């Protein structure tokens, strides 16, 4: 049954489009712009033109909303839209990965929302409804999830026997909710590092003359004090901005597990209701920084294949599943999503520390050199020795870099850990591995070291977030390459016969038949994994291959 957009869409759309027009109009009318050629009746003419434009806009938007219709059928989402040029779309449901809802403050007041339909592996939203009521948006979310579930159990065929496995609504279980205390701590532990960059840009372009005259009037020692004060001020501003951004983004964050997907809600000004289907998950990342580590907190990111709705950090393809929680809590959730087990990291060989030492001492040297150059070129005498005070810190940092680095080959995952100030522990299931890259720079070759990077689909976020075993010995790298390739092959085989999948509780070596009991979604996880069946973890056309695999797994599932 076709449905329409909410009637409130008309005034909202008009206001949105017409907002700019109204501002321009006010500006012109208040005399900001001189229009002599219109004569004494100038303002009236402008008003008349604006009036006509407004009426046209209202008319257009009303027509658009009235002529927009959408329908969620058993296999497709049909959308008919357009006023002057009509567009009729039928999007197969299996292409739609999830339904995301977003509402800003005004939209929440009006009770409307934007619904975005996302496809797998895409960089864009496939379709959007602007605007429907929030209840309708929620209905679409649950309806789509239900239709996809029943579609996959139908495709599974007679082997399951129980047709009502698909029609049973999975019980959503709340996995995590961010309380006020944790939100406050999250704010306190977030620093926006873009602020220093922007400030530096501003100062260097606008304030350079001011700064140079000021510099010449201040004696050298006081300059260091001034620099120190400035540094503290910039740090404070970065902290405040970072805290505000974090609080706005993760206000009232909730994470719920429902069937074969995770559902989350978050946001203060812009509210998002989205989902992370299990079969879209590529990598789990546990992230922390020294502050968080000290207080025992951590953050969990889930990297997915494809696009996720905007967050202020601009993370593409990654969603914070747990913005901040006690480390144990985070690891418990990780264990629930992916049974990693106890991780025993293998550190790089000790000679790798030489590299880090050279790097950090080199940075100190560069800083000293810069100050020395400034000292000799500029008139006030700038002490060039303060950076040398950082040498002990540099040595400690080099050691810490080595200490926090490690990798581990688990039974079903490879885990890597890197970083000190932004430490990331990445968990990659073997069946999510795309390509394996072993690279050795000139310096690494001298020390017989190598870096093995594990490429996955969707590591476009968090600033180059590939899992990598960095600076391992050459022999270890050779072994890793082979081992990862072998295990990928085994994992792919296991995946195909339906014994693997995130959230699938009876996975890995259990009897396929035993898993057919179908308790809350484990079977569904199996089905969607097998049916989507694409080993890259994304949906691609070519369902013929998919169906072929499904029927094969039916046969295989009988053999333990």
Distance from C-alpha of 178 to C-alpha of 189, rounded to nearest angstrom: 15
Sheet strands side by side (includes 87-92)? 69-72, 76-81, 87-92
Distance from C-alpha of 251 to C-alpha of 429, rounded to nearest angstrom: 31
Assess 409 for contact with other proteins (CB under 8 A). no
Question: Which one among 302, 334, 436, 530 touches other proteins, defined by CB under 8 A?
Answer: 436
Assess 458 for contact with other proteins (CB under 8 A). yes
Shortest gap between Cβ of 377 and other proteins (angstroms)?
A: 17
Question: Which one among 14, 25, 284, 305 touches other proteins, defined by CB under 8 A?
Answer: 305
Assess 466 for contact with other proteins (CB under 8 A). yes
Assess 558 for contact with other proteins (CB under 8 A). no
The separation between the first and the last C-alpha atoms of the chain, rounded to the nearest angstrom, is 45
Assess 437 for contact with other proteins (CB under 8 A). yes
Assess 445 for contact with other proteins (CB under 8 A). yes
Applying CB under 8 A, the span of 5-13, 210-218, 347-355, 484-492 interacting with other proteins comes to 484-492
Shortest gap between Cβ of 471 and other proteins (angstroms)?
A: 14
Applying CB under 8 A, the span of 128-136, 398-406, 418-426, 542-550 interacting with other proteins comes to 542-550
Assess 535 for contact with other proteins (CB under 8 A). yes
Assess 556 for contact with other proteins (CB under 8 A). yes
Distance from C-alpha of 419 to C-alpha of 287, rounded to nearest angstrom: 10
Cβ contacts of 423 within 8 Å, gap of 6 or more:
287, 288, 289, 293, 404, 417
Distance from C-alpha of 282 to C-alpha of 259, rounded to nearest angstrom: 18
Applying CB under 8 A, the span of 25-33, 351-359, 389-397, 548-556 interacting with other proteins comes to 548-556
Contact (CB, 8 A) for 25 and 46: yes
Question: Which one among 183, 243, 255, 460 touches other proteins, defined by CB under 8 A?
Answer: 460
Contact (CB, 8 A) for 258 and 149: no
Shortest gap between Cβ of 435 and other proteins (angstroms)?
A: 3
Shortest gap between Cβ of 544 and other proteins (angstroms)?
A: 11
Assess 438 for contact with other proteins (CB under 8 A). yes
- Identity of the residue, 175 or 352, whose beta carbon is nearer to other proteins in the bound complex: 352
Give 244-273 as a 3 state SS string: HHHHHHHCCCEEEEECCEEEEEECCCCEEE
Contact (CB, 8 A) for 244 and 188: no
Structure tokens at 104: 């800003």
Assess 501 for contact with other proteins (CB under 8 A). no
Closest CA to 90 of 80, 98, 82: 80
Closest CA to 346 of 459, 473, 436, 455: 473
Between helix 543-557 and helix 522-532 the angle, nearest 10°, is 130
Assess 159 for contact with other proteins (CB under 8 A). no
Applying CB under 8 A, the span of 97-105, 192-200, 344-352, 458-466 interacting with other proteins comes to 458-466
- Identity of the residue, 171 or 485, whose beta carbon is nearer to other proteins in the bound complex: 485
Structure tokens at 536: 């890259």
Distance from C-alpha of 467 to C-alpha of 285, rounded to nearest angstrom: 9
Assess 439 for contact with other proteins (CB under 8 A). yes
Distance from C-alpha of 515 to C-alpha of 557, rounded to nearest angstrom: 9
Shortest gap between Cβ of 480 and other proteins (angstroms)?
A: 10
DSSP one-letter code for 20? H
- Identity of the residue, 458 or 501, whose beta carbon is nearer to other proteins in the bound complex: 458
Assess 473 for contact with other proteins (CB under 8 A). no
Chain residues in the site for other proteins (CB under 8 A) = 121, 305, 433-442, 445, 453, 455-460, 466, 481, 484-485, 488-489, 492-493, 496-497, 535-538, 540, 545, 548-549, 552, 556
């Amino acid at each position: 049954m076709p449905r329409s957009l909410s009637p409130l869409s008309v005034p909202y759309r008009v206001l949105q489009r017409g907002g700019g027009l109204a501002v321009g109009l006010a500006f012109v009318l208040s005399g900001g712009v001189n229009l002599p050629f219109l004569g004494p009746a100038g303002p009236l003419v402008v008003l008349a033109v604006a009036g006509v434009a407004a009426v046209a806009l209202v008319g257009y938007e009303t027509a658009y909303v009235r002529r927009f219709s959408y329908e969620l059928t058993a296999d497709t989402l049909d959308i008919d839209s357009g006023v002057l040029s009509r567009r009729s779309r039928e999007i197969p449901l299996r292409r739609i990965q999830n339904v995301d809802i977003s509402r800003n403050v005004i939209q929440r007041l009006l009770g409307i929302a934007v619904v975005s339909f996302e496809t797998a592996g895409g960089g864009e939203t496939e379709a959007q409804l602007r605007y429907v009521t929030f209840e309708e948006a929620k209905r679409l979310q649950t309806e789509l999830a239900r239709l996809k579930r029943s579609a996959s159990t139908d495709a599974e065929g007679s082997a399951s026997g129980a047709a009502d496995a698909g029609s049973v609504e999975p019980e959503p279980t709340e996995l995590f909710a961010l309380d006020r205390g944790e939100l406050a701590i999250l704010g306190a532990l977030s620093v926006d590092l873009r602020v220093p960059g922007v400030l530096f840009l501003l100062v260097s372009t606008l304030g350079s003359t001011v700064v140079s005259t000021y510099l010449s009037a201040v004696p050298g020692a006081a300059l260091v004090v001034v620099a120190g004060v400035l540094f503290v001020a910039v740090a404070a501003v970065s902290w405040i901005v970072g805290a505000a951004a974090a609080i706005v983004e993760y206000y009232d964050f909730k994470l719920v597990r429902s069937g074969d997907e995770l559902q989350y809600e978050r946001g203060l000004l812009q509210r998002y209701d989205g989902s992370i289907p299990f079969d879209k998950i590529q990598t789990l990342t546990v992230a922390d920084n020294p502050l968080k580590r000290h207080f025992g907190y951590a953050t969990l990111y889930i990297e997915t294949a494809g696009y996720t709705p905007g967050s202020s950090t601009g993370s593409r393809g990654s969603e914070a599943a747990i913005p901040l929680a006690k480390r144990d809590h985070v690891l418990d959730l990780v264990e629930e999503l992916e049974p990693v087990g106890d991780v025993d990291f293998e550190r790089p060989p000790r000679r790798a520390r030489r590299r880090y030492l050279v790097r950090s001492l080199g940075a100190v040297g560069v800083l000293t050199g810069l100050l020395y150059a400034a000292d000799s070129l500029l008139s006030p005498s700038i002490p060039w020795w303060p950076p040398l005070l950082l040498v002990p810190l540099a040595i400690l940092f080099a050691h810490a870099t080595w200490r926090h680095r490690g990798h581990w080959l688990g039974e079903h995952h490879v885990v890597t850990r890197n970083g000190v100030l932004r430490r990331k522990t990445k968990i990659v299931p073997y069946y999510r591995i795309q390509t394996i890259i072993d690279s050795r720079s000139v310096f690494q070759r001298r020390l017989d070291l190598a870096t093995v990077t594990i490429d996955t689909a969707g590591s476009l976020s968090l600033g180059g977030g590939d899992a990598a075993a960095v600076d391992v010995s050459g022999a270890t790298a050779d072994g890793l390459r082979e081992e990862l390739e072998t295990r990928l092959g085994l994992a792919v085989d296991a995946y195909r016969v339906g014994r693997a999948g995130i959230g699938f509780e009876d996975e890995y070596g259990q009897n396929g038949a035993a898993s057919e009991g179908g308790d809350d979604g484990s079977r569904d996880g199996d089905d969607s994994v097998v049916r989507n069946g694409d080993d890259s973890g994304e949906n691609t056309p070519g369902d013929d291959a998919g169906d072929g695999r499904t029927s094969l797994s039916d046969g295989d599932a009988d053999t333990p």
